[in-house]
Amino acid sequence: MTQEKELHRYYARLRTKFIAIIFFIAFIPLILLGGTTYYHYSATVKEKIRKELKLIAKNRKDTIDLFLNDRANSLSVLAYTHTFDYLGKKENLHNVFQLLKMVDSAFQDMGVINSNGKQVAYIGPYHLTGKQYSQTEWFKAVMKKNVYISDVFLGFRKVPHFIIAVKRIENGKPWILRTTIDINMINHFMCTALLGKHGADAYILSREGTYQISTADNDLILTKSEFKMPSVFRGIKEMEGCHGEKALICAIAWLKNNDWLMVIEQDLKYELSPMVRVKNTALSIFIISSLIIIISTILITKRVFARLEKVDREKSQLSEQLVRSDRLAAIGKLASGIAHEINNPLAVISEKAGWIGDLLTEEDVKNSPNYSELIKSTEDIKKHVKRGKKVISRLMGFARKEEVVYGNVDINSVLDETHDFLNKKAIYQNIAIMKEFHEDLPSIVTDGAQLQQVFINIVNNAIDAINKDGVIRLITKGRDGGVLIAIADTGPGMPEEVQEKIFNPFFTTKPVGKGTGLGLSTSYGIVEKLGGHLTVESEVGKGTTFYITLPPSCEQKTKG
């Protein structure tokens, strides 16, 4: 029925809401827990990387600064302990250079340049004696500064290198001692720092942002870097940023009197691989627990709600029955009151009509021309009083509490009687009453006479409903130790509105005077009293079936 559908929809909505709330409540802590754990863990890991990088950077900065200072100092010592004339001679320069090389392999060559910028002596792998340096930047710088360490440049030899130059003024005339430093030495320092680190890179940029040294790729040297040059600062700085698609953490430091910027960067992808593992584990735990939550929630709510809905439906059915029996009781009381009040006037009318009839038989009236009319009228009055009496009798039958007379009843034989009783009437209307009995039907303890009344009522209704040509089937079946009786007709059926009302007293679809509207309500009352249920199923155009279920024994119920 529509009410049931509505109930079902209501429960479906409630269930969805319930599931949504449970998901919400279950997932929020899960997500929070996972999220914060992941966040803190990754922050810790990043912090560790940062500290590590910072330490490396500090270490390298000190090493490189010390290295450059040492070389510059060594050169200064050489320049100030020897004269221009002495070193300007190739053999002497050669001896000194060889001596130096023995203790320090960083020096690649050595040259002596006079105040005009001409290299007067040179020891090294290239042929650079007599080269003119007056126009080079480093020459101009060293003339101003006394000690100068150059950026990396190609020079005459067309190979990236850098030089350290020291100026000495001897007898008012400046001269310069110059040496080339192997950039691989510095490269080596940086490489050892990064030993065993995946995705790490270290390089040195000039103030203008060109590569001086790169551990990753020597071809980069002297090309312009995309690195955004920071302003000069002391100590070590760390930065987090992106380079292309790579997420990087880097530590930077200024070297060589703030001429060079050392960058040590770490690709987070490598360093964070344990993080990724943690992330994956956490994610799979999350997915598994989510699945468990979802499945268990859906299963549990489904079960709970099915139970709830069933209980509710049963409750509403029960209350429907209660309301119905309450209504029947109230109507019964009313009916019996009315019956009493109407019965007496009916008795008087009946007697008066009888008396008139009696008097009419006296001779003087017999000759009256209207005699036959008068007789007919009194007969009619009597007839209709009888009709009224019948209605009242049924009303009372409906209202009274008839004692149940128990006995072992064979439902099949009761239905046989019903069949015999109504078959003539049915045949007359070309209706076949078919018996489809279950042969080994258990006999049950109930009131056969009252059941007979119920069967006759329903079959009578079926005959009236079919009117002409049709079939009525009387079906019996065993059910839970009791009996199920179905009475099916091929009548026109009933719409739902009618089905809902047929058990109400005084509801009838029969023409006025033919039905009292009490048959089915009385039947309903009887079946309930016997501990059974009377229900109807009907479809317009197909027919109607009444179902009566009866328990094995109704005694316990009526006693309670």
**How many angstroms separate the Cα of 245 from the Cα of each of 53, 242, 248, 269?**
21, 7, 9, 10
The string of DSSP codes covering 57-70 is HHHHHHHHHHHHHH
Cα angle 486-3-314, degrees, rounded to a multiple of 5:
65
Q: In the complex, what is the shortest distance from the CB of residue 386 to another protein, in angstroms, rounded to a whole number?
A: 8
Q: In the complex, what is the shortest distance from the CB of residue 544 to another protein, in angstroms, rounded to a whole number?
A: 30
Q: In the complex, what is the shortest distance from the CB of residue 334 to another protein, in angstroms, rounded to a whole number?
A: 16
Binding of residue 380 to another protein (CB under 8 A):
no
Binding of residue 518 to another protein (CB under 8 A):
no
Of 162 and 398, CB closest to another protein: 398
Strand duo 431-436 + 470-479: pairing: parallel
CB atoms under 10 Å from CB of 408, counted, come to 11
- SS3 at position 211: strand
Strand partners, 238: 251
What radius of gyration do the chain's Cα atoms show? 59
In terms of C-beta density within 10 A (0-12 exposed, 13-18 middle, 19 or more buried), how is residue 469 classed?
exposed
Question: Of 90, 188, 384, 389, which lies in the binding site for another protein, with binding defined by CB under 8 A?
Answer: 389
Binding of residue 379 to another protein (CB under 8 A):
no
Q: Which residue has the tokens 């279920």?
A: 549
CA-to-CA distance for 273 and 277, rounded, in angstroms? 6
Q: In the complex, what is the shortest distance from the CB of residue 399 to another protein, in angstroms, rounded to a whole number?
A: 9
Binding of residue 463 to another protein (CB under 8 A):
no
CA-to-CA distance for 484 and 493, rounded, in angstroms? 21
Question: Of 397, 478, 492, 515, which lies in the binding site for another protein, with binding defined by CB under 8 A?
Answer: 397
Of 339 and 414, CB closest to another protein: 339
Per-residue x/- track, 24-53, another protein (CB under 8 A): ------------------------------
Q: Which of residues 323-362 bind another protein (CB under 8 A)?
A: 339-340, 343-344, 346-352, 354-355, 358
Strand partners, 251: 238, 264
Binding of residue 6 to another protein (CB under 8 A):
no
Residue span binding another protein (CB under 8 A) among the ranges 177-185, 395-403, 508-516, 545-553: 395-403
Of 320 and 341, CB closest to another protein: 341
Of 340 and 510, CB closest to another protein: 340
Residue span binding another protein (CB under 8 A) among the ranges 41-49, 108-116, 397-405, 492-500: 397-405
Binding of residue 396 to another protein (CB under 8 A):
yes
Phi, psi angle pair for 154, to nearest 5°? -85, -40
Phi, psi angle pair for 187, to nearest 5°? -55, -45
Of 315 and 352, CB closest to another protein: 352
Q: Where are the beta strands (DSSP E) in 317-383?
A: none
Binding of residue 392 to another protein (CB under 8 A):
yes
Of 411 and 526, CB closest to another protein: 526
Residue span binding another protein (CB under 8 A) among the ranges 98-106, 242-250, 386-394, 543-551: 386-394
> Contact 156/119 with Cβ under 8 angstroms?
no
Q: In the complex, what is the shortest distance from the CB of residue 339 to another protein, in angstroms, rounded to a whole number?
A: 7
Q: In the complex, what is the shortest distance from the CB of residue 371 to another protein, in angstroms, rounded to a whole number?
A: 18
Count residues near another protein (CB under 8 A): 23
Of 77 and 348, CB closest to another protein: 348
- SS3 at position 464: helix
Strand duo 162-170 + 173-181: pairing: antiparallel
Q: In the complex, what is the shortest distance from the CB of residue 553 to another protein, in angstroms, rounded to a whole number?
A: 25
In terms of C-beta density within 10 A (0-12 exposed, 13-18 middle, 19 or more buried), how is residue 108 classed?
buried
Of 171 and 344, CB closest to another protein: 344
Q: Go through 215-232 and write b for each residue having 16 or more CB atoms within 10 A of its CB, e for each that does not.
A: beeeebbeeebebeeeee
**Residue 311 contacts by C-beta under 8 Å, 6 or more apart in sequence?**
none
Of 200 and 392, CB closest to another protein: 392
Q: In the complex, what is the shortest distance from the CB of residue 465 to another protein, in angstroms, rounded to a whole number?
A: 27
CA-to-CA distance for 267 and 467, rounded, in angstroms? 94
Q: In the complex, what is the shortest distance from the CB of residue 427 to another protein, in angstroms, rounded to a whole number?
A: 32
Of 48 and 400, CB closest to another protein: 400
Q: Which of residues 259-278 bind another protein (CB under 8 A)?
A: none
Q: In the complex, what is the shortest distance from the CB of residue 320 to another protein, in angstroms, rounded to a whole number?
A: 29
Q: In the complex, what is the shortest distance from the CB of residue 345 to another protein, in angstroms, rounded to a whole number?
A: 9
CB atoms under 10 Å from CB of 7, counted, come to 15
> Contact 269/73 with Cβ under 8 angstroms?
no
Binding of residue 183 to another protein (CB under 8 A):
no
Q: What is the DSSP code (8-state) at residue 438? A: -
**Residue 6 contacts by C-beta under 8 Å, 6 or more apart in sequence?**
none
Q: In the complex, what is the shortest distance from the CB of residue 402 to another protein, in angstroms, rounded to a whole number?
A: 8
Binding of residue 536 to another protein (CB under 8 A):
no
Of 394 and 501, CB closest to another protein: 394
Binding of residue 320 to another protein (CB under 8 A):
no
Binding of residue 383 to another protein (CB under 8 A):
no
Of 266 and 521, CB closest to another protein: 521
As given in the structure block, the two tokens for residue 185 are 């030495």
Q: What is the DSSP code (8-state) at residue 442? A: P
Q: Which of residues 54-113 bind another protein (CB under 8 A)?
A: none
CA-to-CA distance for 21 and 24, rounded, in angstroms? 5
**Residue 11 contacts by C-beta under 8 Å, 6 or more apart in sequence?**
305, 308, 309, 312
Binding site for another protein (CB under 8 A): 339-340, 343-344, 346-352, 354-355, 358, 385, 389, 392-393, 395-397, 400, 402
